[in-house]
């Protein structure tokens, strides 16, 4: 990696921006590309986790009532995917919400 003199760097950036504008193709650095991929991956994981939580809350409501689901909402919505999956399996045979979440 080399560092350009300030004048050369300014000229390079101007040429790059002109090229981007003419081609409507913005330049994305490798670091930016990696950040975008990481953000997309994190977003997908959060989406899956939110879906798991929503489904579990729906199951809790159907099995134990809306008031129980409302009381558990905070804990369920902040739980990790591993806990959500364990609780989702337990709800199939549990007689109480304590048996699901403990």
**What pLDDT, on a 0 to 100 scale, did the predictor assign at position 26?**
64
pLDDT tier at 4, thresholds 50, 70, 90: confident
Residue 1 placed within a domain: no
pTM, 2 dp: 0.65
Residue 88 placed within a domain: yes
Residue 84 placed within a domain: yes
Residue 67 placed within a domain: yes
Residue 36 placed within a domain: yes
Contact 64, 97 (CB under 8 A): yes
In terms of residue numbers, what domain contains 22?
A: 6-101
State mean pLDDT over 44-71: 96
Residue 86 placed within a domain: yes
Task: Give the chain's domain count.
Answer: 1
Measured CA to CA, the distance from residue 78 to residue 88 in angstroms comes to 15
**What pLDDT, on a 0 to 100 scale, did the predictor assign at position 61?**
97
The single-letter DSSP state of residue 95 is S
Helix crossing, 30-64 with 66-78: angle to 10°? 160
State mean pLDDT over 22-43: 81
1-5, 14-18, 77-81: segment of lowest average pLDDT: 1-5
pLDDT tier at 77, thresholds 50, 70, 90: very high
Name the one residue in this structure whose structure tokens are 């989702």.
88
């Amino acid at each position: 990696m080399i560092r350009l003199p300030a004048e050369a760097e300014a000229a390079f950036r101007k040429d790059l921006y002109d090229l981007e504008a003419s081609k409507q193709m913005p330049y994305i650095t490798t670091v930016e590309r990696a950040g975008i991929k990481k953000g997309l991956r994190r977003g997908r994981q959060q989406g899956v986790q939110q879906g798991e939580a929503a489904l579990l809350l729906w199951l809790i409501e159907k099995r134990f009532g809306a008031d129980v689901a409302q009381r558990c909402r905070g804990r369920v919505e902040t739980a990790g995917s591993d806990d959500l999956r364990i609780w989702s399996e337990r709800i199939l045979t549990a007689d109480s919400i304590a048996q699901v979440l403990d």
